[in-house]
Amino acid sequence: MLHGGNPVQHKLYMEIEEGKQVLRYIAKRILMMLPILFGITVIVFTLMYITPGDPAYAILGENATPEQVMEIHKEYGLDDPYLIRLGRYFAGVLQGDFGTSYKTGRPVFTEIMDRYPNTLKLALLSTLLGVVIGVAAGIIAAVKQYSIFDRVGTIISLFGVSAPSFWVAMVLVLLFSVKLKILPATGTYGPQYWILPVFTLGLQASTSIMRMTRSSMLEVIRQDYIRTSRAKGQSEWKTIMHHAFKNAQVPIVTIIGIRICGFLAGAVLVETVFAIPGLGKYIIDSVNFKDYPVVQGGVLWIGLNCIVINLLVDIVYCFIDPRIKSMYSNKKKAAAVGTGGASNG
């Protein structure tokens, strides 16, 4: 009301204000990333430091002589105290230098970037497949609660959550590559190579997404406004998709974000079975090899990715749920949202 009596002008002003608030929030979140990344680095560095085992033996192999081991220690500064090594690592990272791999002598960043596209592709495609299957199945299961579809879906999703991914992967490979010989078993040399790994992880993702969609939808479907929508003669499709699903999206987006992060770091078993040169497997191999710079760089990179994905998820909330957007723009309103007062906007 303060800005002239024109409601259109007022609305525009409010929107600009809200936009600014959202941007400010994003900037704040980006700044908050720094201490998190610092923490990740210190923790990973310390863990690698205190784990027993000498990288010199990994580099030199079983025939290393004591002199060669000493030489390697000198070359990589492995005998220096903890704080000096940590400081040296930070100094490098701040200049964009993540160090060089002990195993290959190549820059860690190059090594990571060789593998990252495979991991990202696998994570995104699997999540996409999971969303398509999971959301559709979840909506149907919720709408037709206690129907055969709901029960079969629930059992399959229970199976999907409990079946280990490497086992599903092996079964798929034995069936489609060894028995039927219609899909390649391992590698990443063309679209057909991605079908089995994406299906393995996608299936896994779809089960949790389905369960989340189902429970979130069930909650919304019981609300009064859905009954109102039906009562006023709105078509069932419109009622479900426009009124119910729209309000059930927030938890679904949350679980999608969690899944992508999980796949970026945790697709190790699937990467191993399908011989996909991905980041997760590379980090595990590097842990065994005591390739400290690679482990540190790799974990830092995945950490950065997860923070960015979480930020994106938060931004998406603003677009799908006006209540959350208004939280950023008005603290008083936010408090009201907290008590459920603004739920009907």
Partner 1 sequence: MKKTMKQMAALAAGFLIALSVTACSKTETPSQPGGETPAAQETDAPAQTEAPQTNTGYASASGMIVSAEPTDIKSSKDSMTVVISADPGSLDPHDSVTQNKHQSTRQIYETLVVYDDEGKLIPWLAESWEYEDDCTINFKIREGVKFHNGDELKASDVLFTLKRLVDDNTVAAMQVNKVDFSKTEVTGDYTFKLVTVEPYAIQVAMLENPLCGIISERSYQESGGDFFKAPVGTGPYKVVKYSAGDSLALEGFEDYWIAGQPYVKNLTLRYISDSSSRVIEAESGGADIVYEITATNVDRVRANENINLVSAMGANTSYLYMNQAKKPFDDERVREAVWLAVDIDQAVEVAYGNFGQRATGMISPGIDGRHPDMSSFFPARDLEKAKALLAEAGYPDGFETSISCNSNDQQRKDFCEVIQAQLSEVGIRVNIDVMDSTQWASSLAAGEGVMTIYGLTASTGEAGRTLFRWLPDTSEWPISSWENEEYYELIDKALTTTDTDTRNELYYQCQEMLMQNHVVLPVWHKELNAACQPDVRGFKITPSYEQHYLQFVYFE
Position 273 contacts partner 1 (CB under 8 A): yes
User: Taking CB under 8 A as the rule, does residue 285 contact partner 1?
Assistant: yes
Applying CB under 8 A, among 215, 223, 234, 272 the residue interacting with partner 1 is 272
How far CA 185 is from CA of 117, 189, 193, 282, 312, in Å, comes to 20, 11, 7, 20, 34
Compute the residue count for the chain. Answer: 345
78 belongs to the binding site for partner 1 (CB under 8 A) = no
Q: Which is nearer to partner 1, 269 or 313 (CB)?
A: 269
Task: For partner 1, give the closer residue by CB, 173 or 337.
Answer: 173
Shortest spacing between CB 290 and partner 1, in angstroms: 5
Calpha distance 134→136 (Å, rounded): 6
Angle between helices 331-338 and 322-329 (to 10 degrees): 140
List 76, 116, 245, 282, residue binding partner 1 (CB under 8 A): 282
Q: State the binding string over 104-123 for partner 1 (x if CB under 8 A, else -).
A: xxx----x--xx--------
- Binding part of the chain for partner 1, among 13-21, 121-129, 148-156, 299-307 by CB under 8 A, reads 148-156
Nearest-approach distance from CB 54 to partner 1, in angstroms: 4
Asked if residue 5 binds partner 1 (CB under 8 A), the reply is no
Which of 159, 246, 331, 335 binds partner 1 (CB under 8 A)? It is 159
Q: Please check whether residue 41 is in contact with residue 296, taking contact to mean a CB–CB distance below 8 angstroms.
A: yes
Comparison of 80 and 285: residue with beta carbon closer to partner 1: 285
Is residue 57 close enough to count as binding partner 1 by CB under 8 A?
A: yes
Does 79 contact partner 1 by CB under 8 A?
A: no
Question: Least CB distance from residue 79 to partner 1, whole Å?
Answer: 14
Please report how close the Cβ of residue 98 comes to partner 1 at its closest, in angstroms.
15
Q: Is 185 in the site for partner 1 (CB under 8 A)?
A: yes
Q: Does 170 participate in binding partner 1 (rule CB under 8 A)?
A: yes
Give min distance, CB of 130 to partner 1, in A.
Answer: 19
Nearest approach, Cβ of 28 to partner 1 (angstroms)? 38
Instruction: Give me the residues that bind partner 1 (CB under 8 A), please.
Output: 51-66, 68-69, 71, 103-106, 111, 114-115, 148, 151-152, 155-156, 159, 167, 170-171, 173-175, 177-179, 181, 184-188, 272-275, 277, 281-282, 285, 287-290
